[in-house]
Amino acid sequence: MKLGRREFVATTVGAGAYALFTSTETVIGGSKMYGLIGSMIAAEGKRDELIKILLNGVNDMPGCLSYIVAKEPKDLNGTWITEVWDSKESHAASLKLPSVRAAIAKGKPLIAKVGSYNETEPIGGHGLSQK
């Protein structure tokens, strides 16, 4: 793809403005935010059931700023999970919650394959509270 002058200037100005006006390390409660983006493949025909389990009780996880479950449009069994936490420690603590442990136990048999899994350092964005 050939990048024309207009596209180059627009991209450069946009990137420069982003760099100037955004923090490189957004801090909430004294620590960097922690993020995860992962995918999984549900057992054949079990994606909707798995999604219900993944979404049950997500409002009661201390330190969770965002938890999004999305369907993979190119795979009828694929699912993406995007999480943002106030800290890595809050995420680790969530894995010890009885409700999360029960959801893991209930959902595990419905997972055919765990796909990619990446840790991130969220900076901010629409819908992400920056206290």
pTM above 0.75, yes or no: no
Q: Phi/psi at 124 (nearest 5 deg)?
A: 160, -175
Which pLDDT score, from 0 to 100, does residue 18 have? 39
CATH 1.10.645.10 for domain 26-120, yes or no, is no
Mean pLDDT per 10-residue interval, the chain, length 131 residues: 51 40 46 92 97 88 94 97 95 93 93 95 77 48
- Cα 84 to Cα 19: distance, rounded to the nearest angstrom: 21
